[in-house]
Amino acid sequence: MAEATRSKTSMERWEDAFAKLSVSMTSKFDELLSRMNQLETSHANSHAPPSFVAASTAATSNAAYRLKLEVPRFDGSDPEGWIFKVAQFFEYHAMPEHDHLTIASFYMEGPTLAWFQWMYRSDQLSLWSSFLHAIHARFSS
Encode pLDDT of 80-93 as tens digits. Answer: 999 999 999 999 88
CB 46 within 8 A of CB 64: no
Instruction: Note whether 60 and 104 are same-domain residues.
Output: no
Identify the burial level of 82 via C-beta atoms within 10 angstroms of its C-beta, where 0-12 means exposed, 13-18 middle and 19 or more buried. Answer: buried
Maximum Cα–Cα distance for the chain, whole Å? 101
Q: What range does the domain containing 2 cover?
A: 1-68
CB 131 within 8 A of CB 79: no
First to last CA, the chain: 101
* Residue 3: per-residue pLDDT: 59
Which DSSP category does 50 fall into? P
* Residue 38: per-residue pLDDT: 78
Instruction: Note whether 88 and 29 are same-domain residues.
Output: no
Instruction: Note whether 52 and 83 are same-domain residues.
Output: no
In a domain, 73, yes or no: no
Instruction: Note whether 134 and 89 are same-domain residues.
Output: yes
Is pTM beyond 0.85 here?
Answer: no
CB 112 within 8 A of CB 74: yes
Instruction: Note whether 59 and 98 are same-domain residues.
Output: no
Instruction: Note whether 55 and 116 are same-domain residues.
Output: no
In a domain, 100, yes or no: yes
